[in-house]
């Protein structure tokens, strides 16, 4: 067996020096490294954003899938069209119609989850050092993609009504003054991950206007849009500006993520490039996944299923909010109108990242706010709490356990004050952090 040349790489990875520059940014996300611990049964995990599939009719799905394979197996188990199954693309336009979006099946491209759509878009538009605008905070999975393509992610502040238009425009102007290239604005208008907020109707045309004025493409990522707890939906940015928006949708949260079927709707020229990029990467999206979803949309009452999901997630949101009210008077939070997440603001000085091991020891897991910022420096004052997966009683217990950890950290803060940025030994010599020696 050949060995890597002497002095190259290290003992753990002899190929370390051979990676492309873009591979060096690839690190396990905070959510990922947590899963190993948080999946132990004694830990209440408020960390992952896994949809709750307990209400899906598995027996009926199994039977319908078996007869679909018997009938259409020759096609469902074969390679397919790079743009996706034409019948499913039509059905996707019916799903989008629930949010008032009028799309042509020709403009739809089916992807391996909306995650692949973010990947393709970033690949197509971003050279190393190019700017991608995103909200502060933003979805950790997209940040990983942006980092792989060595983009400079510039995050724009949000408030309870979503991204702040003035802040967006100011950032764009500053970047233009510096001669920087802005490739697109990645936006999560509905039931934001992680912040739980929704872009107000009033701000939507303003955001469009600003991006149009500065020729910035909008990537509208909308996996949660049909999960409004009161059945409410919002005007898609895509509806307001079809030529300026690449819209991303997914079956992961309204049906099941295991099929890995999502989609994008893009202006024709962009859609064509996306198709070529997708074919280069994966040849075609999973045929059997597409046939299964198409069968589900034909034969099951999927609108009613979404209605049930809404009710189920609303009950969990309510459990989390009432537990926060009972146990966490020292924190602030938003009340999400849909989706999976509460963005919890910790008391001043309490550090989400530092507190995490203590929380896990107290048998509750969350994601530190730092995961949702490029560079991971901001966000220590927040944690993302997911209410989608655990039972309401577990959610309440998880929040109670978390409140114990926050209270203890607060007591320590009162006794010793905040931990200095760079810890100094008592003799004034700065020492490396314990986990580095």
Which residue has 């190019």 as its token pair? 130
Which residue's beta carbon is nearest to the bound ligand PMP? 113
CB 384 within 8 A of CB 367: yes
Min dist CB 236 to ligand PMP, Å, is: 15
For residue 35, give the 3-state DSSP assignment: helix
For ligand PMP, which is the closer residue by CB, 291 or 372? 372
Min dist CB 140 to ligand PMP, Å, is: 9
Which residue has 């259409």 as its token pair? 72
Q: How is 99-110 classified by DSSP, letter by letter?
A: TT----GGGEEE
CA–CA gap between residue 24 and residue 1 (Å, rounded): 26
Min dist CB 85 to ligand PMP, Å, is: 17
Q: Which residues bind ligand PMP (CB under 6 A)?
A: 49, 113-115, 139, 141, 188, 193, 221, 223, 250, 252, 257, 262
For ligand PMP, which is the closer residue by CB, 48 or 205? 48
Give Cα 55 distance to the centre of its chain.
Answer: 23
CA–CA gap between residue 114 and residue 145 (Å, rounded): 12
For ligand PMP, which is the closer residue by CB, 115 or 362? 115
Min dist CB 78 to ligand PMP, Å, is: 23
Q: In Å, how far are 318, 320, 352 from 398, measured between CA atoms? A: 14, 9, 16
CB 418 within 8 A of CB 372: no
For residue 130, give the 3-state DSSP assignment: coil
CA–CA gap between residue 336 and residue 212 (Å, rounded): 29
Min dist CB 93 to ligand PMP, Å, is: 18
Min dist CB 313 to ligand PMP, Å, is: 14
CB 356 within 8 A of CB 37: no
């Amino acid at each position: 067996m050949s060995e890597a040349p002497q002095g190259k790489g290290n003992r753990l990875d002899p190929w370390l020096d051979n990676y492309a520059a873009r591979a060096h940014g690839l690190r396990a996300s905070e959510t990922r490294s947590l899963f190993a611990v948080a999946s132990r049964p004694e830990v209440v995990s408020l960390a992952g954003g896994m949809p709750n599939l307990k209400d899906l009719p598995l027996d009926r799905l199994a039977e319908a899938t078996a007869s679909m394979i018997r009938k259409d197996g020759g096609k469902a188990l074969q390679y397919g069209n790079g743009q996706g199954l034409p019948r499913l693309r039509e059905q996707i336009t019916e799903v989008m119609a629930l949010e008032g979006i009028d799309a042509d099946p020709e403009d739809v491209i089916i992807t391996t989850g909306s995650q692949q759509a973010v990947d393709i878009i970033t690949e197509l538009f971003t050279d190393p050092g190019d700017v991608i605008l995103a909200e502060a905070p933003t979805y950790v999975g997209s940040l990983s993609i942006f980092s792989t393509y060595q983009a400079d992610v510039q995050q724009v502040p949000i408030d309870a009504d979503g991204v702040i238009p003035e802040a967006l425009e100011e950032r764009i102007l500053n970047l233009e003054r510096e001669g920087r290239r802005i490739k697109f604005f990645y936006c999560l208008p509905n039931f934001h991950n992680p912040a739980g907020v929704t872009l107000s109707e009033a701000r939507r045309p303003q955001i469009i206007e600003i991006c149009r004025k500065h020729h910035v493409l909008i990537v509208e990522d909308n996996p949660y849009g049909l999960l409004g707890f009161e059945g409410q939906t919002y005007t898609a940015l895509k509806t307001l500006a079809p030529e300026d928006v690449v819209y991303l949708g997914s079956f992961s949260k309204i049906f099941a993520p295991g099929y890995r079927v999502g989609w994008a709707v893009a202006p024709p020229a962009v859609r064509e490039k996306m198709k070529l990029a997708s074919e280069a990467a994966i040849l075609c999206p999973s045929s059997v996944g597409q046939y299964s979803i198409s069968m589900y949309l034909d034969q099951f009452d999927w609108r009613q299923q979404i209605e049930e999901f809404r009710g189920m997630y609303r009950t969990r949101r309510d459990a989390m909010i009432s537990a926060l009210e009972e146990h966490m008077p020292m924190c602030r939070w938003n009340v999400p109108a849909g989706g999976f997440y509460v963005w919890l603001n910790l008391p001043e000085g309490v550090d989400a990242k530092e507190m995490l091991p203590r929380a896990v020891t107290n048998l509750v897991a969350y994601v530190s706010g730092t995961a949702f910022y490029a560079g991971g420096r901001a966000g220590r004052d927040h944690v993302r709490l997911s209410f989608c997966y655990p039972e309401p009683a577990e959610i309440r217990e998880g929040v109670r356990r978390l409140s114990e950890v926050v209270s203890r950290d607060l007591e320590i803060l009162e006794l010793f004050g905040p931990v200095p940025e760079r810890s100094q030994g008592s003799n004034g010599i700065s020492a490396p952090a314990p986990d580095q020696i």
